[in-house]
């Protein structure tokens, strides 16, 4: 039996690297080689090589794909957990390794690691903490120790200026979802053997679909620490480990694994049916020839001005004409005056904006105040006289006063004053047959218990129209 051989999860020679295909690009005494080898051995041991996708970061391990004979994806700085999330949502059985340094994970990528952990992504994160930025030549890292000199903290890290070294394993431990959190060290052979066990546990969790495992790896960077490899390992034990305690933070054993319920992927006709509408049951009458309508429906938020516009547009379309609907949106919807613009035409509609309406449905006083002067000469203004106390000043328009709120209240639903006004506009203008509205209401109103009362309110409007025909 061969006891020591290259893991199969490494390439035989590093073709992707270019010159020097027998050696890694790592410096002498660097911890990445050790961490890589442990991972490669475990990929072999767990028989997961084919389904492993290695997510390499930005930093010294950016070139992990030189070495790992697995699927490889190189991620932007700090975002490997988000990239892995995207892959996880694509291949449920993949094994995803997010291998990140301290600048990547504890600096620029704090949001992505925290939220991937919080979602409990089935993912194994190896966080290589060497307390310095390696690839860019030795700058301050979020994990750099107080007093430690780097190129960007030449006199040593100062807490009042640079903050304190961040304990990422401790931060992970503040999140409920991860199933496994441990900090290991590569300072001594014994600690490397412990690391191997931890790495295995973290990968096995993923194989068993248990969730998010986080391993922080204290790792030497002799070149940037300006120490010999052996001094560097002593420094780890003397300086680094007291700040970053090597310990297990969490190991969830009795985890109940929820079986995922994956909805079926709809295709072909099944997919089309999700979006198809069948309005054949409407049997709408043919549209009457009337001039283009530029309608502005305006009122308080909650008076149903938007939905009145949608009902109107739906009726018109059902009868075979064109319509556009455009809302006032955003903060206007959260209180204050809201309005919907609807254009009805037998032709293609260019601008959907109603700058100058020929029909104004004013549900409240501010609406009348804003839009009265914009109405085209010869246009119509429908006034909700239940709450608008003043009269229309214009004399070149037709003004129709309707106590819509009172009528709707009597009909059993104050909020349906919009339907009173819409019905009367339809009856007066013949923009659409009132029977079409009665057919569209059941299809458009989401809360089914409101359908009957709305239909009753249409009848109240019809009755009002018949009694007051002269006013129209």
Partner 1 sequence: MTKQLVKGNEAIVYGALLGGATHFFGYPITPASEIAHAAALYFPKTGREFLQAESEVAAINMIYGAAGAGGRAMTASSGPGVSLMAEGISYLAGAELPCVIVDIQRAGPGLGNIWPEQGDYNTVVKSGAHGNYQNVVFAPASAQEMCDFTYQAFEIADKYRVVVFILSDAYIGQMMEPIEIPNTPREGDRKDWALYADAESRKNLITSIFMNQQIQSDHNKKLQNKYRLIEHELLAYEEEETDEADVIFVAYGICARICYTAMEELRTLGIKIGMLRPQMLFPFPSRPIQQLAQKVKKCIVVELSDGQMAVDVKLAVNGAIPVLEYNWMGGVVPTVKEIVERVQQDMKGGAK
Is residue 378 close enough to count as binding partner 1 by CB under 8 A? no
> Which is closer to partner 1, CB of 123 or CB of 427?
123
Three-state DSSP at 198 gives helix
Smallest gap, in angstroms, from Cβ of residue 354 to partner 1?
10
Interface characters, 143-162, with partner 1 (x: CB under 8 A) = --------------------
- Using H for helix, E for strand and C for coil, what is the string for 30-89? CCHHHHHHHHHHHHHHCCCCCCEEEEECCCHHHHHHHCECCEEEECCCCCHHHHHHHHHC
Site for partner 1 in 12-41 (CB under 8 A): 16, 18
> Which is closer to partner 1, CB of 155 or CB of 350?
350
Interface characters, 294-313, with partner 1 (x: CB under 8 A) = ----------------x--x
Is residue 353 close enough to count as binding partner 1 by CB under 8 A? yes
Question: CA 132, CA 150: separation in Å to the nearest integer?
Answer: 8
Q: Backbone dihedral region of 159: left (phi > 0), alpha (psi from -120 to 50 degrees) or beta?
A: alpha
Site for partner 1 in 393-422 (CB under 8 A): none
Question: CA 326, CA 422: separation in Å to the nearest integer?
Answer: 17
Is residue 176 close enough to count as binding partner 1 by CB under 8 A? no
Stretch that binds partner 1, among 148-156, 191-199, 232-240, 326-334 (CB under 8 A): 326-334
Q: At what angle do helices 189-207 and 32-45 cross, to 10 degrees?
A: 40
Smallest gap, in angstroms, from Cβ of residue 256 to partner 1?
23
> Which is closer to partner 1, CB of 27 or CB of 73?
73
> Which is closer to partner 1, CB of 67 or CB of 465?
67
| Residue count of the chain | 472
Stretch that binds partner 1, among 153-161, 209-217, 324-332, 400-408 (CB under 8 A): 324-332
Question: CA 41, CA 30: separation in Å to the nearest integer?
Answer: 18
Q: CA separation (Å) from 267 to 89, 91, 92, 260, 264? A: 19, 19, 20, 21, 9
What's the token pair of residue 402? 């309707």
Number of amino acids touching partner 1 (CB under 8 A): 73
Three-state DSSP at 194 gives helix
Alpha helix ranges (H) inside 163-226:
168-173, 189-207, 222-225
Question: CA 5, CA 80: separation in Å to the nearest integer?
Answer: 30
Site for partner 1 in 110-129 (CB under 8 A): 111-112, 114-115
Stretch that binds partner 1, among 29-37, 249-257, 258-266, 375-383 (CB under 8 A): 258-266
Question: CA 324, CA 313: separation in Å to the nearest integer?
Answer: 7
Please answer whether residues 438 and 427 qualify as being in contact, where contact means their C-beta atoms are separated by less than 8 angstroms: no
Site for partner 1 in 45-84 (CB under 8 A): 49-53, 55, 62, 65, 69-76, 79, 82-84
> Which is closer to partner 1, CB of 88 or CB of 183?
88
Is residue 323 close enough to count as binding partner 1 by CB under 8 A? yes
Site for partner 1 in 262-291 (CB under 8 A): 262-268, 271-272, 274-280
CA atoms within 13 A on the CB side of 375: 29
Smallest gap, in angstroms, from Cβ of residue 165 to partner 1?
24
> Which is closer to partner 1, CB of 160 or CB of 278?
278
Is residue 355 close enough to count as binding partner 1 by CB under 8 A? yes
Interface characters, 187-226, with partner 1 (x: CB under 8 A) = ----------------------------------------
Q: CA separation (Å) from 438 to 284, 419, 434, 441, 457? A: 11, 11, 7, 5, 10
């Amino acid at each position: 039996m061969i006891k020591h051989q290259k893991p199969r999860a490494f390439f035989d020679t590093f073709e992707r690297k270019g010159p020097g295909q027998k050696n890694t690009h790592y410096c002498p005494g660097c911890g990445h080689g050790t961490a890589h080898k442990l991972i490669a051995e475990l990929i072999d041991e767990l028989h997961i090589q084919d389904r492993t996708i290695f997510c390499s970061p930005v930093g010294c391990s950016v070139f992990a794909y030189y070495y790992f004979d697995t699927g490889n994806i190189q991620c932007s700085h700090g975002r490997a957990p988000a990239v892995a999330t995207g892959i996880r949502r694509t291949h449920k059985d993949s094994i995803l390794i997010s291998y990140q340094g301290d600048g990547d994970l504890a600096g620029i990528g704090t949001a992505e690691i925290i939220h991937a952990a919080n979602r409990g992504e089935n993912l194994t994160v190896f966080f290589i903490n060497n307390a310095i930025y390696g690839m860019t030549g030795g700058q301050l890292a979020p994990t750099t120790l107080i007093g430690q000199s780097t190129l960007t903290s030449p006199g040593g890290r100062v807490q009042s200026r640079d903050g304190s070294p961040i304990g990422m394993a401790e931060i992970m431990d503040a999140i409920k979802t991860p199933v496994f959190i441990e900090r290991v060290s590569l300072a001594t052979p014994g600690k490397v053997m412990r690391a191997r066990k931890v790495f295995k546990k973290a990968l096995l969790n993923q194989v068993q679909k248990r969730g998010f495992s986080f391993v922080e790896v204290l790792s030497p960077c002799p070149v940037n620490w300006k120490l010999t490899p052996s001094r560097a390992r002593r420094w780890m034990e003397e300086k680094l480990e007291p700040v970053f305690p090597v310990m297990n933070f969490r190991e969830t054993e009795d985890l109940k694994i929820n079986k995922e319920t994956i909805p079926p992927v709809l295709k072909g006709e099944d997919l089309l049916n999700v979006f198809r509408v069948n309005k054949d049951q409407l049997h709408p009458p043919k549209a009457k020839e009337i001039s283009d309508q530029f309608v502005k429906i305006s009122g308080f938020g909650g008076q149903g001005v938007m939905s009145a516009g949608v009902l109107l547009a739906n009726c018109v379309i059902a009868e075979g004409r064109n319509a556009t609907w455009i809302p006032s949106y955003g903060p206007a919807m959260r209180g204050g005056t809201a309005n919907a613009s609807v254009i009805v035409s037998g032709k293609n509609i260019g601008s959907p904006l109603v700058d100058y309406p020929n029909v104004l449905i004013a549900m409240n006083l501010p609406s009348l105040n804003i839009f009265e002067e914009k109405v085209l000469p010869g246009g119509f203004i429908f006034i909700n006289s239940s709450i608008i106390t003043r009269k229309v000043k214009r004399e070149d328009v037709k003004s129709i006063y309707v106590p819509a709120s009172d009528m709707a209240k009597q009909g059993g639903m104050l909020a349906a004053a919009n339907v009173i006004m819409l019905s009367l506009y339809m009856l007066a203008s013949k923009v659409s047959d009132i029977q079409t509205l009665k057919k569209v209401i059941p299809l458009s109103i989401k809360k089914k218990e409101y359908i009957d009362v709305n239909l009753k309110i249409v009848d109240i409007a019809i009755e009002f129209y018949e009694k007051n025909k002269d006013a129209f």
